[in-house]
Amino acid sequence: MTARPLASAQVPPSVLDVLRKSAAYLAAKGVPEARLDAELLVARALNCDRLALYLAFDRPLAETELAACRAAIRRRARREPVQHILGDQAFRALTLEVTADTLVPRPETEEVVDHVLAEVDRLMTAGVAAPALLDLGTGSGCIALAVATERPAARVTAVDQSAAALAVARRNAVRAGASVRFLQGDWYAPLEAAERFHLIVSNPPYLTPVEWEAAQPEVRDFEPRAALVGGDDGLDAYRHILEDAPARLHPGGGVVVEIGHTQGEAVAAIARRAGFDDVRRERDMEGRERAVIARGAVRGG
Ligand X SMILES: C[S@@+](CC[C@H](N)C(=O)[O-])C[C@H]1O[C@@H](n2cnc3c(N)ncnc32)[C@H](O)[C@@H]1O
Interface residues toward ligand X, by CB under 6 A = 103, 105, 109, 137-140, 142-143, 159-162, 165, 186-187, 203-205, 226-227
Cα separations in angstroms, 277 against 78, 128, 168, 182: 48, 21, 37, 30
By beta-carbon proximity to ligand X, the closer residue of 224 and 296 is 224
Decide: residue 58, CB within 10 A, 0-12 exposed, 13-18 middle, 19+ buried: exposed
| R_g over Cα of the chain | 22
- Distance (Å, whole) CA 100 – CA 123: 36
By beta-carbon proximity to ligand X, the closer residue of 3 and 183 is 183
Asked if residue 73 lies in contact with residue 5, where contact means CB atoms within 8 angstroms, the answer is yes
Q: At its nearest, how many Å lie between ligand X and the CB of residue 188?
A: 9
Give the residue ranges of DSSP H helices in 151-195.
163-176
Q: At its nearest, how many Å lie between ligand X and the CB of residue 187?
A: 5
Q: At its nearest, how many Å lie between ligand X and the CB of residue 163?
A: 10
Asked if residue 104 lies in contact with residue 98, where contact means CB atoms within 8 angstroms, the answer is yes
By beta-carbon proximity to ligand X, the closer residue of 22 and 140 is 140
Q: At its nearest, how many Å lie between ligand X and the CB of residue 284?
A: 14
CA 161, 167, 170, 172: dihedral to nearest 10 degrees? Answer: -110
Q: At its nearest, how many Å lie between ligand X and the CB of residue 227?
A: 4
Amino acid making up residue 210: V
By beta-carbon proximity to ligand X, the closer residue of 23 and 227 is 227
By beta-carbon proximity to ligand X, the closer residue of 83 and 162 is 162
Give the closest residue to 87 by CA, choosing from 159, 30, 140. 140
By beta-carbon proximity to ligand X, the closer residue of 103 and 116 is 103
Decide: residue 198, CB within 10 A, 0-12 exposed, 13-18 middle, 19+ buried: buried
Q: At its nearest, how many Å lie between ligand X and the CB of residue 155?
A: 18
